[in-house]
Structure 1
């Protein structure tokens, strides 16, 4: 497996998970500059390659991980698939549903694995929460809320370049949206959206969304990069509420604490630590090596892309 782009997420999360996965051998790491590729391979192994296209020409690479800025994904996914490489790509897969659908279809046509890395879905805490809901811990589900907010980044950060990084909505606003799909189902309507957009560089900085499913269960979602750090969700039911923090980017050592509240009842359930990066890397490697079917993930990717597009189209943009 090889890495196409020396992004921070590759250094901090993806490459350590690759190095620890027995089914993965790091063959090469590519950057636009030889110096950066050399620094990454010195830490994680593999051959340092200057240039993304040069990496795709290598015969010793059968799969690539792409952590490039969001709006560069589509081009390099297609070029990797055309080169016969399996692809694991950071979210979002692309900036549009049409392009995402085309690339998913191309991967199927070529018999290649294409996985969008919403890694939080591979953490066991979410299955535990779904079981609590299914077992009636809070009665009938009446509402879902989720937030992913971070402090401002330094000037020049890729998120401030909407034509490359896509802004905060594409970069991490999709996490609460994907969580809503996970808990409320795939048919969500857009009720209302407001985005804050910076006048100077044109990037969406933050926003709030109200969605609902066919049963009228609402999802209240927020994101932004002008806040304190927060990744959380809560589920409200007819008899209680479930709350969970650090839901999208927990470190491998973190033991999630699920808080359950009902009338005259307060409970905290400590769950086992889990390593979502190791889990997603293992799932991808097994699919590549055994021809495993990831079409259920493809369906989620396509629903996500369609919903993100509808949210963007419905957004009231407030410039500041």
Structure 2
């Protein structure tokens, strides 16, 4: 007997049969065109989509295979047959609509970055604890097999004592009519690409960030390039770089007292082979679809079958680091995330 009433609400109660999760999309985004086929491949149902206009919703639903459209976001959330929602709106809308979705009894998979700041993540966490629904930031890098491989090397001590790490994610983004060029809506390099670097460093190194230093170059109101230095316990510091106006490049490296490790495609590797170089050895990984693996994991977590790999505690810590990087660049000084030498430098 399969009864998922506790997990998915009354709409999901089924006995004697497996039940596909019925997904609703808030937003008809380009990234959703990658996620929608991954959901179908994972055995999920694309039930409904709501976008800024009916014309946009209909075109998206026809192209991606949704059963229907809804006239607006709230109508989709109120639909009793929707079990979970995927939110791919502008960053400033992520937390407000995630909260509404939780209050409507839906599980939430939300595009990165999850929030505009750590305060918003804290608000979302409070609602999530009240509703007992799952919320996850839609990063794909932890769901590629190479990520588990690297994390095992780090945690097992095979690299030796950690000495340095670096993460870079750079690209050239030329689309002019896009929210990424609006700071108020969550645009800029640090939000759009730097969040990957911060998330990966936190997950792989398993250490808290003590302080942050950053420099930013701007185009209008947004940072087109951010470089940062993050201090870890014991005096170690790691570097990160992100840009919306650079030759496309991504890499993550970790150096220990015994070995040096390089991930050539740590963040975006859908259906492409990847290689992790450890000293003189290369570990090769066959192409996989990390979006499909992410969806399968999220559904399993919503069913109560496994804990979330990326819970809101991780998202909160990541947001705190992003806040510190922004503050450092704005104020031109080191920002301490734990009590440091100057109380005025703390956030």
| TM-score normalised by structure 2 residue count | 0.84
Cross-structure match for 1:26 = 46
Structure 1 residue 152 corresponds to structure 2 residue 170: no
Give yes or no for contact 2:86–2:109 (8 Å, CA) kept in 1: yes
**Cα separation, 1, equivalents of 2:51 and 2:212:** 42
Hey, what does 2:253 align to over in structure 1?
A: 234
Hey, what's the Cα distance between the residues in 1 that align with 2:205 and 2:103? Answer: 36
CA RMSD of aligned residues (A): 1.9
For 2:199 and 2:268, locate their aligned partners in 1 and report how far apart those are by CA, in whole Å.
14
Equivalent position to 1:284, from 286, 290, 298? 298
Whether the 8 Å contact between 1:146 and 1:234 is mirrored in structure 2 is: yes
Instruction: Tell me if structure 2 keeps the 8 A contact 1:194–1:317.
Output: no
Instruction: Encode CA deviations 1:262-304: one digit per residue, 9 max, x unaligned.
Output: xxxx222212333211111011112223475438622211111
The separation in 2 between residues aligned to 1:237 and 1:295, in whole angstroms, is 25
Q: Aligned runs of 1:119-268 on 2, under 5 Å?
A: 119-198=140-219, 201-252=220-271, 254-261=272-279, 266-268=280-282
Judging changes above 3 Å, is the alpha-carbon distance between structure 1 residues 289 and 267 closer, same or farther for their aligned structure 2 residues? closer
1:68-111 Cα offsets, whole Å, 9 max, x none, are 11111121111111222111101111111111111112112111
Corresponding residue number in structure 1 for 2:61: 41
Q: Which residue of 2 aligns with 1:3?
A: 25
**SS of residue matched to 2:227:** strand
In 2, the alpha carbon distance for the partners of 1:216 and 1:183 equals: 18
Aligned-partner SS, 1:315: helix
In structure 1, distance between residues paired with 2:259 and 2:301: 39
Residues of 1 paired with 2:284 and 2:330: CA distance? 40
Equivalent residue, structure 2, for 1:67: 88
Answer whether contact 1:143 1:219 (CA < 8 A) is retained: yes
SS in 2 for 1:101: helix
1:314 corresponds to:
328
The counterpart of 1:58, out of the listed 79, 94, 98, is 79
1:86–1:288 Cα contact (<8 Å) kept:
yes
Distance, in Å, in 1 between the alignment partners of 2:24 and 2:149 is: 33
Q: Describe the SS at the equivalent of 2:287.
A: coil
Unaligned runs of 5+ in 1: none
Deviation at 1:214, TM superposition (A): 0.5
Hey, what's the Cα distance between the residues in 2 that align with 1:147 and 1:317? Answer: 23
- 1:10-38 deviations in Å (ceiling 9; x for gaps): 01x2111111112x211101111112211
Deviates more, 1:42-51 or 1:99-108: 42-51
Instruction: Indicate yes or no: 2:323 matched with 1:303.
Output: no
1:227 aligned counterpart, secondary structure: strand
> Structure 1 stretch 275-284 or stretch 44-53: which is displaced more?
44-53
Provide closer, same or farther for how the CA distance between residues 285 and 67 of structure 1 changes in structure 2, counting only shifts above 3 A: same
Give the conservation status (yes or no) of the 8 Å contact 1:64–1:88: yes
Q: Which runs of 5+ in 2 are unaligned?
A: 1-22, 333-347
The alpha-carbon deviation at position 240 of structure 1 amounts to 3.2
Question: How far does residue 177 in structure 1 lie from its aligned partner after superposition?
Answer: 0.8
